[in-house]
Amino acid sequence: MKQPELDLEKILESDESLTFLAGAGISIDPPSNLPSARRIMRDIIRFSCVDESLEDLLSDESINNMQFESILQIFQEIIDPELKIMEYYGKAKSPNVIHHFLVDMMLKGHIVMTTNFDYLIEYALIEADNNAEAVITKDDYLNHKDPVKLVNKGKLVLYKLHGSKKNIFTGEDTKESIISTIDAFAREKKEDVFSLPQYELELFQNACKDRILITLGYSGGDVFDVIPTIRKMKDLKGVVWIQHSENEEAHIYNSDSYDELLKTSKGVTNHLDRLLYRLHNSLGIKTIKIAGNTSKLLPIHNKIQRDSHINHIKSTPKVKTLLKWLQTNLSEPSKPYKQYMSSIIYKFENNVQNALKYAKKALETFENIKNETMTAHTLQNIGNYYFQLGAPQKALENYIKSYVIFDKNHDKLGSAGSLSYIAMIYYETGKAKQAIENYKKSYEIHKGIRNLKGMSNTIGQLGLIYLDFGMLSKSLEFIKEAYNIDKKINNLDGMAYHLGILGLVYRRLGQFQKALEYHKNSFDVYKNLNNQQGMAAHLGNMGNIYIIIGKLDKALEHHKRAYEIHKKLQYIKGMAENLGNIGINYIRLGKLKKALEYLERCYELYKELDNTNQMATALTNMAIILSDLNNPKKALEYSQKAHDIYTKFNNLHGIGAILKTMGYIYVNNGNDQTGLEYYEKACETYEKIKEINEMAVIKAKIANLYEKQQKWEKALSYSQKAYKLYDKTGNRHEVVTMLNRMGLFELKLEKKTEAIKHFEEMLKRSREIQYKKGVELAENLLKEVREQ
């Protein structure tokens, strides 16, 4: 597709098909006079938070870090369940020149969508065409999903993506559409992901296909669902982003210069610019941002229209401030509710200490007035804050208290949530049995109330626990169930995620082709969603499998592709992970110095992120290389640094890994006895966390060590231990390997009958998993032994 030149005036005068996306900023100019999203947030905070928190919460820094929908969601939940605040938007009844401009664009055959709650575009539409329509509810979207077809029929249709309190054209009460938007935002925000519902997404895709998208009225802080949605639009021709400011002079930022701006750090520094940069890279299309006064940027040529607006502005009364409207139309919240609101808003800006402080104050009052519902919710929030502050036991105490109250009051959703939090703490503190019990209880509650998304999340968590502890068959069962639920509710992100986890399980099971297949399927779903980060993750996963099966060039290609995507997205954590994988790839290729170079770059990025656990992982891998480069002193120095990090955070999995590495370093440098001691320590550590697969790996290494020393009885004993552990995990390829090793050691010990039994079992198991090399090797061994 040829990319168009993005010059706003030329575009508007051309024959290009355009789609407009309008935000709240278009309704600020007179005579509409609605306040900006930031002013509305400030008034909501003044009305609903305690006075002593206002100086902090109303600062420019705080407001710039907040999202309007976050504030609206908690305001509805705590202060205004009926969403009376939406009536405020109905007070503005005079469209401005921007609203009329958008109607002019619709009359010329272009598409207009908006996330606004006001009715000002509708009022402008009524002046132009009494037969105009608004698409608001789910049914509306399902009946109007082809906007191009409707345009070709000459229909004027406005699409309201975030819903509306009512349909101005029909008089229908459509408040539920807003509640659905806010509820969806509340659910998805926990995962830090939000996009439009599927039925709106389908329309959005149809509205953007082979068209230029022009957005106006968005400041940059209110793009939480707009850009993630736009990034899924694979057939867009270009994006023009008009960012409203009071400056008379327009400033234009072109995507062609973004790379240079990033390098110099002089231009692309704010949230919107970084998002636009990622959008440009992920879609491969031109994007421009024009910052300036929106109404003066748009070529509104009708002088009579301008003059009539100027006269209308003089006679239009100012819209009352939201704060005054709230004080007149809503009851003032009581003190504990204001404290609770202050706490939640501090949480939104990641000020956990203050969030905890005001939550504790609210809790004391809620307990005194015996408001059990709010007491339980506040306890749950306090648990979250303690967990974020690194105090898991205090978090657990509060989660348990919240569960007791929710359970007593038969609040199923609250009970299920608290049980999941309790399970999370038990898992984080190494109590897997209790974690599993509580996730299962949570799952059963979600199942009882038919909360399919809750079912998918909890059973998926159970699958991850079983994966972490090497119980691979069980993990497979649970992750598959989570995937099937996601498929049932068309949760594409969940499907892609769980397909990827299934790939990891099959990799651990040694079924590498199947693992590749699942990672490829996950990659394809993410590609369909245009989720570049998900695509990169599974390119990396496929690369790791190609390393294991010896296709090193293919592995390197996949890891480098993943790195390039993350680099375009400026996702440093992903870049660091990819550099680490490239380093491991070069280890396997025997290019140790090159491997060390990549791992050092990986380490520096993790250091920049202050990600100490991953720094330790990089140090571990560098230690292995240094050992292979005959530098055991430096290798052990790096290993000790990694060990210190893991010990500080009581990361038993990491401690086990570094002890195993230190064992390797000593063995590699001829000190078998010390190496053996470290292997045993590593195995003891893994046993504490029931990491069965790693225990099996180490038992097999110890068997190899005794084989080297020709201590056949001990080699056989450790091979048998490894076999039993691999069999328990369901890792069938390694089971075949250990049966082979056991048979060979038994031949050394002149135990021919036992060896034949193990080779026969090896043949049977190899056939079961269609392992061709295993079948051939077992058949040859049996033939040789029987002929002796």
Q: What is the CATH number of the domain that holds 788?
A: 1.25.40.10
Q: What is the pLDDT of residue 314?
A: 47
Q: What is the pLDDT of residue 628?
A: 93
327 vs 479: CA distance, rounded Å: 50
Q: What is the mean pLDDT of residues 463-484?
A: 89
- C-alpha distances (whole Å) from 403 to each of 80, 293, 441 are 25, 52, 12
Q: What is the mean pLDDT of residues 132-139?
A: 94
Asked if pLDDT for residue 152 goes beyond 50, the answer is yes
User: In this predicted model, what pLDDT tens digit does every residue of 677-722 receive, in sequence order?
Assistant: 999 999 999 998 878 889 999 999 999 999 999 999 999 999 999 9
Q: What is the pLDDT of residue 257?
A: 55
Highest-confidence segment of 81-95, 206-220, 270-284: 81-95
Which residues touch 208 (CB under 8 Å, ≥6 apart)?
Answer: 19, 230, 233, 235, 236
Asked if pLDDT for residue 96 goes beyond 90, the answer is yes
Look at residues 267, 300, 333 and tell me which one is the last residue of a structural domain: 300
Identify the weakest region by mean pLDDT among 53-62, 422-431, 772-781. 422-431
117 vs 221: CA distance, rounded Å: 17
Q: What is the mean pLDDT of residues 146-171?
A: 94
- Please choose, from the candidates 556, 620, 549, the residue with its C-alpha nearest in 3D space to the C-alpha of residue 586: 556
Q: What is the pLDDT of residue 304?
A: 40
- Domain assignment present for residue 665? The answer is no
Asked if pLDDT for residue 220 goes beyond 60, the answer is no
- Domain assignment present for residue 287? The answer is yes
Backbone angles phi, psi at 755, to 5 degrees: -65, -45
Asked if pLDDT for residue 179 goes beyond 80, the answer is no
pLDDT classification of 326: cutoffs 50, 70, 90: very high
- Per the DSSP assignment, residues forming a β-bridge with 3 are none
Q: What is the pLDDT of residue 1?
A: 45
**What's the structural domain count of the chain?**
2
**Contact 599/625 with Cβ under 8 angstroms?**
yes
Q: What is the DSSP letter of 333?
A: P
- Please choose, from the candidates 735, 698, 743, 697, the residue with its C-alpha nearest in 3D space to the C-alpha of residue 716: 743
Backbone angle region of 172, left / alpha / beta, with phi > 0 → left and psi within -120 to 50 → alpha: beta
User: In this predicted model, what pLDDT tens digit does every residue of 439-459 receive, in sequence order?
Assistant: 999 999 999 999 998 999 999
User: In this predicted model, what pLDDT tens digit does every residue of 611-646 receive, in sequence order?
Assistant: 888 899 999 999 999 999 999 999 999 999 999 998
- Domain assignment present for residue 100? The answer is yes
Element (H, E) at 533: helix 532-548
645 vs 623: CA distance, rounded Å: 15
User: In this predicted model, what pLDDT tens digit does every residue of 250-259 receive, in sequence order?
Assistant: 667 776 555 5
pLDDT classification of 286: cutoffs 50, 70, 90: confident
Q: Is the peptide bond before 31 cis (omega within 30 degrees of 0)?
A: yes
Q: What is the pLDDT of residue 168?
A: 94
Which residues touch 473 (CB under 8 Å, ≥6 apart)?
Answer: 729, 730
Q: What is the mean pLDDT of residues 323-336?
A: 96
pLDDT classification of 200: cutoffs 50, 70, 90: confident
User: In this predicted model, what pLDDT tens digit does every residue of 99-131 receive, in sequence order?
Assistant: 999 999 999 999 999 999 999 999 999 998 889
- Domain assignment present for residue 733? The answer is yes
Q: What is the pLDDT of residue 221?
A: 52
- Domain assignment present for residue 639? The answer is no
- Domain assignment present for residue 151? The answer is yes
157 vs 155: CA distance, rounded Å: 6
Look at residues 248, 281, 300 and tell me which one is the last residue of a structural domain: 300
Q: What is the pLDDT of residue 318?
A: 62
- Please choose, from the candidates 382, 353, 378, the residue with its C-alpha nearest in 3D space to the C-alpha of residue 366: 378
- Please choose, from the candidates 178, 144, 186, the residue with its C-alpha nearest in 3D space to the C-alpha of residue 161: 178
Q: What is the pLDDT of residue 319?
A: 67
Look at residues 245, 272, 300 and tell me which one is the last residue of a structural domain: 300
CATH number at residue 23: 3.40.50
Instruction: Name which residue leads in pLDDT, 423 or 392.
Output: 423
Q: What is the pLDDT of residue 289?
A: 86
Work out the mean pLDDT of the chain and round it to a whole number. Answer: 87
pLDDT classification of 266: cutoffs 50, 70, 90: very low
CA 163 to chain centre: 25
162 vs 55: CA distance, rounded Å: 31
Q: What is the pLDDT of residue 172?
A: 96
Q: What is the pLDDT of residue 411?
A: 97
Tokens of 673: 């006895």
pLDDT classification of 270: cutoffs 50, 70, 90: low
- Domain assignment present for residue 263? The answer is yes
**Contact 438/412 with Cβ under 8 angstroms?**
no
- Domain assignment present for residue 169? The answer is yes
Determine what percent of the chain is predicted with pLDDT higher than 90.
Answer: 62
Q: What is the pLDDT of residue 658?
A: 96
pLDDT classification of 284: cutoffs 50, 70, 90: confident
Domain that residue 219 falls in: 16-34+92-300
212 vs 225: CA distance, rounded Å: 19
Q: What is the pTM of this model?
A: 0.67
Q: What is the pLDDT of residue 300?
A: 57
Q: What is the pLDDT of residue 608?
A: 86
Q: What is the pLDDT of residue 291?
A: 80
Q: What is the DSSP letter of 35?
A: P
421 vs 383: CA distance, rounded Å: 8
- Please choose, from the candidates 253, 244, 251, the residue with its C-alpha nearest in 3D space to the C-alpha of residue 289: 253
Asked if pLDDT for residue 386 goes beyond 80, the answer is yes
How many degrees, rounded to 5, is the angle at CA 445 between CA 455 and CA 410?
145
pLDDT classification of 186: cutoffs 50, 70, 90: low
User: Which amino acid would we find at residue 523?
Assistant: F
pLDDT classification of 349: cutoffs 50, 70, 90: confident
User: In this predicted model, what pLDDT tens digit does every residue of 531-559 receive, in sequence order?
Assistant: 788 899 999 999 999 988 889 999 999 99
Give the pairing of strands 212-216 and 251-254.
Answer: unpaired
Asked if pLDDT for residue 3 goes beyond 60, the answer is no
